Chains A and B, each alone.
Chain A
Amino acid sequence: MTSLALYPGCSLEGMANDYANSMTAVFDTLNVELVEIDDWTCCGATAAHSMSDAMAVLLPAKNLAAAEKMGLDIVSPCANCFNRLTYSRKMILKNIYDVPWRVTGKTQVHDMTRFLARPEMIAQIKQHVLMPLKGLNLVSYYGCQMVRPPKITGFTDYDNPQTTDMIVTALGANPLDWSYKATCCGAGIGIGRRDIQYNLSKRLIQKAFQAGAEAVIVSCPLCQNNLDMVQNEEGMPKIPVFYFTELMRLAFESEKCSVQYFRKHFTDPAPLLRKKGLAR
């Protein structure tokens, strides 16, 4: 049994607790132990590096130090947390700032999709699929923080990332090609400039619709909320936005997985799932 240190991030406690629930269920099925980092703190997200670079390096360092103590590699479900932790680790290795915790930077930080897209994990996923998601046309959306900048994240295919596509293919679904895989959804700018965020998110949903997608797959809490919320606007096509773990749970649990799991979505995915015969 593999063990990993889990750094959930602030969003998974609030806005994205459906992501957290599905993630726990999926990793239980896959027989991978997730040990939550004890007393983890916020990674600083966009605000910390906007205020000072030292803060952006030192805030995640506490979590890196805690994981080092546990002797486990970190896996992060949130794209922005993954980016900040990796950035902090690279800067710690360069020895620019004095870190108040004992940390060497030897802990690896994995993005959750990339961890699950490894050949051995894909083989395991295929074994556990009870109900293949046949006939579900979807587009996967990665956002910016997970893939860029490639020097920090280590993604070589930053133009056309494949990790989530590989996972949903293993589940039996049909991922489509589209050009907006890594175009920004507007992130947190909606707080001050709603118009910018809506314009960016609207374009993504419209392009997904034009590509023939019935659902969008994301792996970032903020992207999910932005893309889901913008569909409340008039004249927008209604496309459910799933976390990739939610679809994994659906395929793994089959009959047991109820529509209630998707209660927290703004655009209700139940009609789509019923139409495809994936839920009652």
Chain B
Amino acid sequence: MMEKNSEKTALDMPKRLSGPRRLIGDRGNHFLNKIEGETGANISACYQCERCTNACPVSVYMDVNPHQVIRYVQLGWREELLGSTTIWVCLSCETCTTYCPNDVDVAKTINHLRNMAFRSTVVPAEKILAIFHETFVNELQRFGRVNEFWLMGSLNRHPDVLKEKIKSGMLKEELALGLKMLRKGKLRLLPHRCTEMKKIREICRK
């Protein structure tokens, strides 16, 4: 992944755009209206000044830059957005939203696209991160609070994650780190269980 990014230059066309040409905005305004209505983000006001992309700490790792996300929403390119790495790489650090001169809530838009990706059939571009979010919520439903030891345990037990992490050698590193943290007393092995779990599970189903 890293090599691919370092080779990327400003003149290279993103892969999605070099394919067969699509009509711009061939779906009308439905997608724009839907997202604008659901998030309250001021998407139509964007004039592509790229301030969000320049402020973003992780825009180099994205295939669709934050200002392009807003443009794609205006054009209704749903599949390109849901299949992008952008929606998973985004850290929700809200820098883009803070510095937008037109009050476009870029972070909320990307976050909303992530919500949509969970409910869609599009395969997530960053598998482990997508699985992580799901595991986090599952853990939350189990105890009401999230215990780091149990969270990492259930994440690494997931077959897709396990396969990927063994291949990249990350599992070994993580186990060594876990052991170090355990020795320092940074891990709590027995989780606390909250009452009212029924209501919490109901919320998580929404």
Q: Which residues of A contact B (CB under 8 A)?
A: 10-11, 13-17, 39-42, 44-55, 58-59, 62, 100-101, 144-145, 148-150, 158, 183-184, 186-189, 191-196, 200, 229, 263-264, 266
Contact = CB atoms under 8 A, between A and B. Distances in A.
Interface hub of A101, A187, A189 (most chain B Cβ within 10 A): A189
A197 to B, nearest CB: 9
A47 B203 contact: no
Contacts of A184: 57-58, 91, 93, 95
B159 interface: no
Interface string B47-62: 0000000000110010
A54 B87 CA distance: 19
Interface string B65-97: 000000000000000000000001101111101
Contacts, number: 154
A49 B107 CA distance: 11
A8 to B, nearest CB: 10
28 contacts: A14-B149, A14-B187, A15-B187, A39-B195, A41-B144, A41-B200, A47-B133, A48-B140, A49-B111, A51-B118, A51-B137, A52-B118, A53-B112, A54-B206, A55-B137, A58-B203, A59-B200, A100-B199, A100-B202, A184-B93, A189-B91, A191-B132, A194-B170, A195-B2, A196-B58, A196-B89, A264-B185, A266-B184
Contacts of B140: 41-42, 44, 47-48, 59
A81 to B, nearest CB: 11
Nearest to A195: B2
A264 B170 contact: no
Contact of B126 (A188, A193, A264): A193
B196 interface: yes
Contact of A47 (B132, B170, B187, B195): B132
Interface of B: 1-2, 57-58, 61, 88-89, 91-95, 97-98, 107, 111-112, 114-115, 118, 126-129, 132-134, 136-137, 140, 144-149, 155, 170, 177, 180-181, 184-188, 192, 194-196, 199-200, 202-204, 206
B contacts with A: majority SS = helix
A59 B93 CA distance: 20
Contacts of A263: 184-185
A62 B187 contact: no
A265 B200 CA distance: 34
| Those 5 A-B pairs whose CB atoms lie nearest each other, nearest first | A47-B136, A192-B128, A144-B93, A192-B129, A184-B93
Contact of B200 (A15, A54, A62, A188): A62
B58 A45 contact: no
Contacts of B136: 45-48
Contacts of B144: 41-42
Contacts of A13: 145, 147, 188, 192
